Chains A and B, each alone.
Chain A
């Protein structure tokens, strides 16, 4: 049996003048929690729609659970659970009715899927008679996840399950995904939040329809090509102005309460870069200067690889 739950080779997809996916290739191993990380409009949803057999690629091929997405679409649909980005349950049906409906579509019952969905369903069970349309955002999301799981799929595909969700609920949602992964389920989830990417086994960074990198979350940060410094100073405006005027700056990006800066020169030791940067800032009358080396993270690498964004849709 092949270990690849998903195999994608050279997929392209165009909509009129827009190229949504340009030569995308990757594999997802069975049992993996795989993240597709990128902003709105990167092509994540198009990719999900191809993997769920709702769209046919223009070129390239893909198999899901060993089945071809074009030829064997019916087999795939029975074995995949899909939670689309937009709320797509029946607003006029109750929580319980939605679940029973989705179970019956797949020829099963709520009772048969109960143990798998139990940790999630327990949280919405007190509202089981409430219309789905009247649930809060977080509850809707949990119900949608239950509906995608009730037929015990071999692969779970989640398109931006946490967009518009607050930081605490996002954490809780990823805790749930950890629980599901522990059952051996293969999961692919997309997100625009770089902090969530750290919770995946592997991630693919996606931008403008192309994959920028595929790796373990920790390894993605190490792809950043230069030493990186976290810089502080007073005031923030003066600090940013001074950093942008620094002749050797390769990248200058605000990062929470610091600014992440890298030096374009490759032949110079990190300590020397650090020293010169501090001296430059003091010479520019920035006070309370602190320049410390910092491990690049996923977002640092993403910005390095994505290049300067353009207003004209490519």
Chain B
């Protein structure tokens, strides 16, 4: 993907969050450029979810600052929310509504006009080859298709930044790859993609990635730079070394 020289889509500076005496996120700093696909990796409990909640305006930082799409996550929460999309495996679509109804509902929530909703519904159905299932309840769709639809819905209002929290967990290998094609298309249209995954082959598909360990950003760079830095052939090994620490990481 080409990285534009415009203002960064996401900026975090010494962003921190404490819960009581526990520091979940410890002074993380990074910038994500507009149109970039940025992988946000880390072991369970490393602080990824807390960081995402701060960047999406759901949790206020204890210290430091961050902006998303040019808006301050502390003081301009409404603008932040209006300019982002979000999806995760746990929260995406309404199971009891049809494909068309879900698109219509989210279009309304995002404040699109009827004409825009109609036009984007047609575009989504064509792009996903979903037309035969438009009247199907979302609950009847295979998980992978549900996730592809959820991504399209998260992009419905053409947000500047979309946050994807483990969007492909449990999805079959072909649909998982189709999902990543949708990510690339969104990035090519200028949307910045901030994505977490436990599949390290998917980490290779990111322009750059960061790996969080114990609340801090322990590594940040392109996939090839990270592999070079740790002198290992795969990101899987980069991840294992970082998350297990240097003492045990050497014994593989």
Show the binding face of A for B, using Cβ within 8 Å: 38-42, 136-138, 160, 163-171, 192-195, 207, 237, 253-257, 299, 302-303, 306, 308-309, 311-313
Contacts and interface: CB of A to CB of B under 8 A. Distances in A.
A257 B26 CA distance: 31
Interface string B128-168: 11101100100011111100000000000000000000100
A165 B198 contact: yes
A167 B173 contact: no
B39 interface: no
A165 B45 CA distance: 10
A168 B142 contact: no
B132 A311 contact: yes
Interface residues of B, number: 46
Given A309-B144, A309-B145, A256 B234 contact: yes
A313 B239 contact: no
A313 B240 contact: no
Nearest to B188: A237
Given A168-B244, A255-B201, A257-B204, A39 B42 contact: no
B44 A166 contact: yes
B175 interface: yes
B220 interface: no
Contacts of B129: 311
Given A237-B1, A311-B133, A313-B142, 7 more contacts: A39-B172, A39-B173, A137-B44, A169-B44, A237-B188, A302-B173, A311-B128
Contacts of A237: 1, 184, 188
Contact of B243 (A168, A192, A312): A168
Contacts of B204: 256-257
Contacts of B180: 254
A237 B37 CA distance: 13
Contacts, number: 111
Interface string B97-122: 00000000000000000000000000
Nearest to B175: A309
5 contacts: A166-B46, A257-B223, A303-B174, A309-B174, A312-B133
A298 to B, nearest CB: 10
Interface of B: 1, 42-46, 89, 128-130, 132-133, 136, 140-145, 166, 169-175, 177, 180, 184, 188, 198-201, 204-205, 223-224, 234-236, 239-240, 243-244
B130 A311 contact: yes
B240 A168 contact: yes
Contact of B170 (A163, A167, A311): A163
A254 to B, nearest CB: 6
A254 B205 contact: yes
Contact of B142 (A171, A195, A256, A311): A311
A314 to B, nearest CB: 9
A167 B142 contact: no
Given A256-B234, A303-B173, A303-B174, A313 B140 contact: yes
A40 B171 contact: yes
Nearest to A254: B177
A253 B128 contact: no
A312 B131 CA distance: 10
A299 B235 CA distance: 18
Contacts of A171: 240
Most buried by B among A192, A254, A256, A311: A311
Contacts of B145: 309, 311
Nearest to B130: A311
Contact of A253 (B140, B177, B239, B243): B177
A311 B141 contact: yes
Contact of A137 (B45, B236, B239, B243): B45
Nearest to B148: A311
Closest 4 CB pairs of A and B: A40-B170, A39-B172, A256-B204, A40-B143
Contact of A194 (B173, B174, B177): B173
Most buried by B among A166, A253, A313: A166
A194 B176 CA distance: 13
Contacts of B177: 253-254
